[in-house]
Amino acid sequence: MRTEILQEAEDELNESIAHYEDVEAGLGQRLKEEARAAILWIKNNPDLPRVRPRGYRRVNLKIFPYYVAYFFWGDAIWVLAVAHGRRRPEYWLKRKKKLG
């Protein structure tokens, strides 16, 4: 199964990486590595996280307060957000409309 990342999710991740790099050199790189590892884990284990009430699945990052939210659509896993766990819950759900 292929993995697709919406541009908005990629932009969120890049903005967060830049923020953490401003806080401390190397910290943004750690966030990037952890997010990429989570996406790889999702690709290898897409069915393991439970389905949330609004139909999506998510994987929480271990070190940083972010999660990767995704849906299955067609023959792909679509990452809709790399979102902060304590800000604007589920604001990104409207992005699902872009899938079809």
| Residues in a beta bridge with 5 | 79
Instruction: With beta carbons less than 8 A apart as the criterion, state whether 69 and 51 touch.
Output: no
Tokens representing 78? 């679509």
- CATH T-level topology, domain 2-90: YaeB-like fold (3.30.2310)
| Spatial distance between the Cα atoms of 68 and 48, rounded to a whole number of angstroms | 14
Q: Is residue 96 over pLDDT 90?
A: no
Tokens representing 30? 């750690």
Closest CA to 83 of 58, 63, 100, 62: 58
What pLDDT is recorded for position 89? Answer: 83
| Half-sphere exposure in the Cβ direction for 58 (13 Å, CA) | 23
Question: Which pLDDT tens digit goes with each residue over 36-75?
Answer: 999 999 999 999 999 999 999 999 999 999 999 999 888 8
Q: Is residue 100 over pLDDT 70?
A: no
